[in-house]
Structure 1
Amino acid sequence: MTTFVDRVELHVAAGSGGHGCASVHREKFKPLGGPDGGNGGHGGDVILTVDQSVTTLLDYHHSPHRKATSGKPGEGGNRSGKDGQDLVLPVPDGTVVLDKDGNVLADLVGHGTSYVAAEGGRGGLGNAALSSARRKAPGFALLGVPGGLRDIVLELKTVADVALVGYPSAGKSSLISVLSAAKPKIADYPFTTLVPNLGVVTAGAMVYTIADVPGLIPGASQGKGLGLEFLRHVERCSVLVHVLDTATLESERDPVSDLDIIEEELKQYGGLGDRPRIVVLNKVDVPDGLDLAEMVRPELEARGYRVYEVSAVAHIGLKELSFALAEVVGQARAAKPKDEETRIVIRPKAVDDAGFTVVQEEDGLFRVRGEKPERWVRQTDFSNDEAVGYLADRLNRLGVEDKLMKAGARAGDGVAIGPEDNAVVFDWEPTVMAGAEMLGRRGEDHRLEEPRPAAQRRRDRQAERDDAQQEFDDFEPF
Structure 2
Amino acid sequence: MSKFIDRVVLHVRAGKGGHGCASVLREKFKPLGGPNGGNGGNGGDVILEVDPNVHTLLDFHFHPHAKAGNGKPGEGSNRDGKQGEPLLLKVPDGTVVVDKDGTIVADLVGVGNRYIAARGGRGGLGNASLASKARKAPGFALLGEDGDERELVLELKSVADVGLVGFPSAGKSSLVSVLSAAKPKIADYPFTTLVPNLGVVASGDTTFTVADVPGLIPGASEGRGLGLDFLRHLERCAVLAHVVDCATLEPGRDPVSDVDALEAELAAYKPALSADADLGDLADRPRVVILNKADVPDAAELAEMVTPEFTARGWPVFVISAVSRAGLRPLTFALAEMVLRYREDHPKAAPKRPIIRPIAVDETGFSVIADPQEPGGFIVRGTRPERWVRQTQFDNAEAVGFLADRLARLGVEDELVKQGAVPGAPVTIGHVTFEWEPQISAGIDMVPTGRGTDIRLEQSDRIGAAERKHASRVRRGLVKEDEE
| TM-score normalised according to structure 1 size | 0.88
After superposition, give the CA deviation of every residue in 1:16-36 in whole Å (9 maximum; x if it has no partner). 011100001111111211100
Give 2:406's aligned residue. 394
Q: Distance in 2 between matches of 1:299 and 1:238?
A: 23
Aligned AA (1:395): L
Aligned AA (1:404): L
Secondary structure of the residue aligned to 2:446 is: helix
Preserved CA contact (<8 Å) 2:11 2:152? yes
Give 2:460's aligned residue. 451
Question: How many corresponding residue pairs?
Answer: 441
| 1:257, distance to aligned residue in structure 2 (A) | 0.8
The structure-2 alpha-carbon separation of the partners of 1:262 and 1:355, relative to structure 1 and needing over 3 Å to count, comes to: farther
- Is residue 415 from structure 1 mapped to residue 415 from structure 2 by the alignment? no
Gaps of 5+ in 2: 271-280, 353-360, 463-484
Preserved CA contact (<8 Å) 1:163 1:212? yes
RMSD (Å) for aligned C-alpha atoms: 2.1
Preserved CA contact (<8 Å) 2:140 2:398? yes
Aligned AA (1:77): S
| 1:146, distance to aligned residue in structure 2 (A) | 1.1
Moved more, 253-262 or 128-137: 128-137
| 1:262, distance to aligned residue in structure 2 (A) | 0.7
Give 1:9's aligned residue. 9
- Is residue 247 from structure 1 mapped to residue 259 from structure 2 by the alignment? no
Q: Distance in 2 between matches of 1:130 and 1:254?
A: 80
Moved more, 436-445 or 112-121: 436-445
Give 1:471's aligned residue. none
Q: Distance in 2 between matches of 1:448 and 1:197?
A: 70
Give 2:434's aligned residue. 426
Q: Distance in 2 between matches of 1:73 and 1:102?
A: 37
Aligned AA (2:124): G
Give 2:294's aligned residue. 284
The structure-2 alpha-carbon separation of the partners of 1:198 and 1:387, relative to structure 1 and needing over 3 Å to count, comes to: same
Secondary structure of the residue aligned to 2:393 is: coil
Give 1:460's aligned residue. none
The structure-2 alpha-carbon separation of the partners of 1:261 and 1:373, relative to structure 1 and needing over 3 Å to count, comes to: same
The structure-2 alpha-carbon separation of the partners of 1:353 and 1:126, relative to structure 1 and needing over 3 Å to count, comes to: closer
Aligned AA (1:398): L
Give 1:70's aligned residue. 70
| 1:446, distance to aligned residue in structure 2 (A) | 2.8
Give 1:140's aligned residue. 140
- Is residue 437 from structure 1 mapped to residue 446 from structure 2 by the alignment? yes
Aligned AA (1:370): G
Give 2:477's aligned residue. none
Q: Distance in 1 between matches of 2:229 and 2:12?
A: 24
Task: State which of 290, 294, 299 in structure 1 corresponds to 2:309.
Answer: 299
The structure-2 alpha-carbon separation of the partners of 1:211 and 1:121, relative to structure 1 and needing over 3 Å to count, comes to: same
Aligned AA (2:129): A
Give 1:314's aligned residue. 324
The equivalences for 1:32-71 within 5 A come to 32-71=32-71
Secondary structure of the residue aligned to 1:338 is: coil
Give 1:476's aligned residue. none
Q: Distance in 2 between matches of 1:166 and 1:93?
A: 25
Moved more, 163-172 or 260-269: 260-269
Q: Distance in 2 between matches of 1:314 and 1:252?
A: 27
Preserved CA contact (<8 Å) 2:246 2:302? yes
The structure-2 alpha-carbon separation of the partners of 1:298 and 1:122, relative to structure 1 and needing over 3 Å to count, comes to: same
- Is residue 368 from structure 1 mapped to residue 380 from structure 2 by the alignment? yes
Preserved CA contact (<8 Å) 1:135 1:436? no
| 1:400, distance to aligned residue in structure 2 (A) | 2.7
Give 1:231's aligned residue. 231
| 1:427, distance to aligned residue in structure 2 (A) | 1.4
Secondary structure of the residue aligned to 2:117 is: strand
After superposition, give the CA deviation of every residue in 1:165-221 in whole Å (9 maximum; x if it has no partner). 110001100111111110000011100100000010111111111100000001111
Q: Distance in 2 between matches of 1:360 and 1:340?
A: 51
| 1:353, distance to aligned residue in structure 2 (A) | 6.6
Q: Distance in 2 between matches of 1:242 and 1:374?
A: 57
Give 2:390's aligned residue. 378
Aligned AA (1:391): L
Preserved CA contact (<8 Å) 2:13 2:148? yes
| TM-score normalised according to structure 2 size | 0.87
Q: Distance in 1 between matches of 2:173 and 2:401?
A: 71
Aligned AA (1:294): E
The structure-2 alpha-carbon separation of the partners of 1:320 and 1:135, relative to structure 1 and needing over 3 Å to count, comes to: same
Give 2:333's aligned residue. 323
| 1:393, distance to aligned residue in structure 2 (A) | 1.8
Aligned AA (1:445): D
Preserved CA contact (<8 Å) 2:43 2:70? yes
Give 1:182's aligned residue. 182
Give 1:266's aligned residue. 266
Q: Distance in 2 between matches of 1:450 and 1:305?
A: 87
Q: Distance in 2 between matches of 1:305 and 1:402?
A: 72
Q: Distance in 2 between matches of 1:244 and 1:334?
A: 29
Q: Distance in 2 between matches of 1:368 and 1:340?
A: 45
Preserved CA contact (<8 Å) 1:243 1:279? yes
| 1:410, distance to aligned residue in structure 2 (A) | 3.2
The structure-2 alpha-carbon separation of the partners of 1:5 and 1:357, relative to structure 1 and needing over 3 Å to count, comes to: farther
Q: Distance in 2 between matches of 1:352 and 1:384?
A: 26
Preserved CA contact (<8 Å) 1:109 1:341? no
Q: Distance in 2 between matches of 1:54 and 1:357?
A: 47
- Is residue 358 from structure 1 mapped to residue 368 from structure 2 by the alignment? yes
| 1:228, distance to aligned residue in structure 2 (A) | 1.4
Secondary structure of the residue aligned to 1:115 is: strand
Q: Distance in 2 between matches of 1:93 and 1:237?
A: 14
Preserved CA contact (<8 Å) 1:39 1:125? yes
After superposition, give the CA deviation of every residue in 1:41-89 in whole Å (9 maximum; x if it has no partner). 1111111111111111111111111111101111100011111100111
The structure-2 alpha-carbon separation of the partners of 1:306 and 1:409, relative to structure 1 and needing over 3 Å to count, comes to: farther
Preserved CA contact (<8 Å) 2:23 2:35? yes
The structure-2 alpha-carbon separation of the partners of 1:399 and 1:254, relative to structure 1 and needing over 3 Å to count, comes to: farther
Preserved CA contact (<8 Å) 1:20 1:39? yes
The structure-2 alpha-carbon separation of the partners of 1:227 and 1:133, relative to structure 1 and needing over 3 Å to count, comes to: same
Aligned AA (1:245): D
